[in-house]
Amino acid sequence: MKVFTLATELLSIQAENPQRKIAFIPTMGALHEGHLSLVENAQQNGYVTVVSIFINPLQFNNLSDLEKYPRTLEHDLALLEAQGVDFVFTPTNEEMYPTTTADVVVDLGLLDSRFEGACRPGHFHGVVQVVYRLFHYVQPHVVFFGEKDLQQCLVIEQLVLQHFPEIDMQRVPTKREVSGLAMSSRNMRLTKNGLETAAAIYRSLSAVIVNLTDIDARLAFEKQKLTSLGFDVEYLSCVSLPFMDEVSGKQLDNQSDASKKGKYAVVFAGSLEGVRLIDNLVF
């Protein structure tokens, strides 16, 4: 496994592997099985795998969140090495944000101002800036993103559509604990009790999609249930994809099951023990 810190070093990847496709998985480190499942997806297809580890200051709207973000580079590199990753890119802030480059513009529609966009102003602007630069440096054929960050996937799909139509963007289903809890770097900040309680998110999401005819009442009921378990719920909503328009039970009733598939999601964000968690189910 080769570790690069300079963008120019990445040029050797294509030069050394002219016949193979390059798969890219951008991360901010603090790696867990969810990230490794993205790597596995790339490797199953025989791609050269490139992982980046860069904590992007531009996507944190809250300085204390940035400071608290776990930094586990040595451990991350050991995990990636054991997993058989080919290249890791660990750039500095100066490498990613030289003072001379201008911001890229991506039309995100309302994605930037609703749900995660509304809760974390400027977040997707920061994500788009860093991912644009990373794609530009790595020049991947295929990129893998976890569906746990569904809205981020939708944002990246717009970035790809508008600036990198040659890239194949793959969404990988959320990796879950046995309890159903979505794997996340933030889970390590929960207590043992908190981890058990947090599994209720998945149960609620599943309960919502089990009976779509009564979705409005079900959303209200599950929201109340999560609140009574100690969650500070920011949203629990049913949305259409790709722009996350909120939909009601009536709108869903008017569509056949076949035409619905993959076009909707139930999305959640909320805090437990002061830790902000997100999750979703696409249906």
Binding residue for ligand PAF (CB under 6 A) from 4, 10, 48, 56? 56
Q: Is 138 in the site for ligand PAF (CB under 6 A)?
A: no
Type of residue at 164: F
Q: Is 149 in the site for ligand PAF (CB under 6 A)?
A: yes
State how far the Cα of 57 lies from the Cα of 55, in Å rounded to an integer. 6
Closest CA to 234 of 193, 282, 201, 196: 201
Minimal distance, residue 63 CB to ligand PAF, in Å: 17
Minimal distance, residue 30 CB to ligand PAF, in Å: 9
Reading the block at residue 247, the tokens are 């939909």
Q: Is 184 in the site for ligand PAF (CB under 6 A)?
A: no
Considering beta carbons, is residue 131 or 265 the nearer one to ligand PAF?
Answer: 131
Q: How far is CA 203 from CA 42, 179, 240, 245, in A?
A: 30, 9, 21, 23
Minimal distance, residue 26 CB to ligand PAF, in Å: 4
State how far the Cα of 83 lies from the Cα of 34, in Å rounded to an integer. 13
Site track for ligand PAF across 58-77, x = CB under 6 A = -x------------------
State how far the Cα of 67 lies from the Cα of 70, in Å rounded to an integer. 8
Binding residue for ligand PAF (CB under 6 A) from 108, 128, 131, 159? 131
Given the DSSP bridges, would you call strands 142-146 and 22-27 parallel, antiparallel or unpaired?
A: parallel
What does the radius of gyration of the chain's CA atoms come to, in whole angstroms?
19
State how far the Cα of 69 lies from the Cα of 276, in Å rounded to an integer. 12
237-256: contacts with ligand PAF (CB under 6 A): none
Binding residue for ligand PAF (CB under 6 A) from 22, 23, 28, 160? 28
The secondary structure element, H or E, covering residue 91 is none
Considering beta carbons, is residue 48 or 156 the nearer one to ligand PAF?
Answer: 156
Strands (E) in the chain, as ranges, are: 2-4, 22-27, 48-53, 87-89, 142-146, 168-172, 232-240, 245-246, 264-272, 275-282
State how far the Cα of 199 lies from the Cα of 193, in Å rounded to an integer. 10
Q: Is 26 in the site for ligand PAF (CB under 6 A)?
A: yes
Binding residue for ligand PAF (CB under 6 A) from 22, 27, 128, 174? 27
Q: How far is CA 230 from CA 5, 32, 177, 182, 271, in A?
A: 43, 26, 20, 18, 9
Per CB under 6 A, the segment of 5-13, 21-29, 215-223, 270-278 that binds ligand PAF is 21-29
Minimal distance, residue 29 CB to ligand PAF, in Å: 8
Residue 35 annotated to the active site? yes
Q: Is 150 in the site for ligand PAF (CB under 6 A)?
A: no
Q: How many amino acids of this chain bind ligand PAF (CB under 6 A)?
A: 10
Q: Is 130 in the site for ligand PAF (CB under 6 A)?
A: yes
Per CB under 6 A, the segment of 22-30, 71-79, 161-169, 214-222 that binds ligand PAF is 22-30
Residues that bind ligand PAF (CB under 6 A): 26-28, 56, 59, 127, 130-131, 149, 152
